Amino acid sequence: MIRTLTLPGHVSPLALLPPLLLMLSACSPRVGSSPSPPGAVPQSIIFLIADGAGPAHWTLAAFADEELAVRQMKTVGLIDTRGFDHTVSGSAPTATAYATGVRSRMGMVGVGPDSLPRETVLEAAMERGMSTGLMTTTAIVDATPAAFGAHRVRRSDSGIIARQMSTKGIDVLMGGGRAAFRAGAQPDAIDLLAEVRQKYTYVESIDELRRLDLASVDRLLGLFAEGDMGVVSARGAALHDMTTAALRILGRNPNGFFLMIENEESDTQAHANAPAEVVIREMLDFDGAVRLALEYQADHPQTLVLVTGDHETGGISLTYDQRREVVMQYASGAHTGVLIPIFASGPGAERFGGIIRNDEVGRALIELVRARR
Ligand SMILES: [Zn+2]
């Protein structure tokens, strides 16, 4: 079934958005840095993933906002998102390819197709004394962050994934997914949350996060929902606040850091064949996190910023009506196999241009971390 959604005639999709949001994006300063010499090695890496975001997601966002932060990123590539034994993939194997440099099977996180654990870029960063962080708008144990911070054959083993992620020394963990830390989700019925709270500064709401004196926080666990944190209208400025806090904490390490930031809703809302304005809001909110990353990079030029998705969701196509205005159509309520954009800036950015495989992205990331002196 094809669900058709028409954007209003000659009115720009921009007109669908709240005036405040537009003012904010119109007033935001342009930032960015000059290209680094080829072969340069980054001190820190900020890897932003809009789950499910393919070319049409970005097109809608670009039509809605001429000043998208991601437009400042001048190295652009297209990622072949296939998995080890399949063509149209899912978040678990695609995130595993980014995290480990190895294509895997559906549902597997942080393990190769042989089910054996593979070192992730986050673990390689920890080994070199870098700080590390994982952040998402869905459960922190969901497939994308799990692929970087855990090793499981089944992405659904959320209690075990929560334990692996929260006991290995990751400095910043933020998202939803409190339920996975409760005794009921743990195989031995241990109250993992109580245990982990002894090692982390712990917050349960964005208000609490805002009130923290971040200068005195070394390790931060923020679990802002039992499960998913929901769409922008439900989670508010959470992604902005979480990104700001993560960069403040991780940025203090002179050895640099690796931070992965995910917005899940560009995938979830495309699965639901949501109206164009919902998808646009998610992409613009995500682009706000990209802007924060680029502002950080402007102050710290030895930072590599990467922005991409993990696969396309919804088969979104942009056809037109009798006035040649955009009509958004979904071909699917599931994932598709289209090549997806990746944007890069900073030291090492040149490695991510052209058509590139998802596992090549992961191998490049690990090589860049290992190349540090
Ligand atoms: Zn999905």
- Lateral strand order in the sheet of 326-330: 3-6, 326-330, 316-320
Q: Ligand 1 centroid vs 119 CA: distance in angstroms? A: 24
Burial 148-166 (b: 16+ CB within 10 A, else e): bbbbbbebebbbbbbbbbb
Least confident of 4-8, 98-102, 145-149: 4-8
Q: Ligand 1 centroid vs 310 CA: distance in angstroms? A: 9
Q: Ligand 1 centroid vs 316 CA: distance in angstroms? A: 14
Structure confidence at residue 7 (pLDDT)? 53
Sequential DSSP letters for 205-233 = SHHHHHHS-GGG-SSEEEE-SSS----HH
% the chain with pLDDT above 70? 90
What CA–CA distance (Å, rounded) separates 234 from 237? 9
**pLDDT tens, residue by residue, 287-300:** 999 999 999 999 99
Q: Ligand 1 centroid vs 92 CA: distance in angstroms? A: 10
Mean pLDDT in residue range 72-82: 98
Confidence of residue 17 (pLDDT cuts 50, 70, 90): low
Helix, strand, or coil (residue 137): strand
Structure confidence at residue 242 (pLDDT)? 98
Q: Ligand 1 centroid vs 312 CA: distance in angstroms? A: 8
Taking residue 31's Cβ as centre, other Cβ atoms within 10 Å add up to 16
Structure confidence at residue 29 (pLDDT)? 44
CATH placement of domain 49-370: 3.40.720.10
Q: Which residue carries 């769409």 as its tokens?
A: 231
The amino acid at residue 371 is: A
Dihedral angle computed from the Cα positions of residues 77, 97, 161 and 51, in that order, rounded to the nearest 10 degrees: 30
Q: Ligand 1 centroid vs 9 CA: distance in angstroms? A: 30
What CA–CA distance (Å, rounded) separates 245 from 251? 10
Structure confidence at residue 2 (pLDDT)? 47
Q: Ligand 1 centroid vs 222 CA: distance in angstroms? A: 24
Structure confidence at residue 38 (pLDDT)? 77
**pLDDT tens, residue by residue, 335-356:** 999 999 999 999 999 999 999 9
The domain ranges of the chain are 49-370
% the chain with pLDDT above 90? 89
What CA–CA distance (Å, rounded) separates 118 from 169? 17
Query: φ and ψ at 258, to 5 degrees?
Result: -120, 125
What CA–CA distance (Å, rounded) separates 275 from 272? 9
Q: Ligand 1 centroid vs 160 CA: distance in angstroms? A: 22
Q: Ligand 1 centroid vs 342 CA: distance in angstroms? A: 18
Q: Ligand 1 centroid vs 198 CA: distance in angstroms? A: 34
Q: Ligand 1 centroid vs 52 CA: distance in angstroms? A: 6
Q: Which two tokens stand for residue 255?
A: 């050895």
**pLDDT tens, residue by residue, 219-228:** 999 999 999 9
Q: Ligand 1 centroid vs 282 CA: distance in angstroms? A: 15
Q: Ligand 1 centroid vs 96 CA: distance in angstroms? A: 15
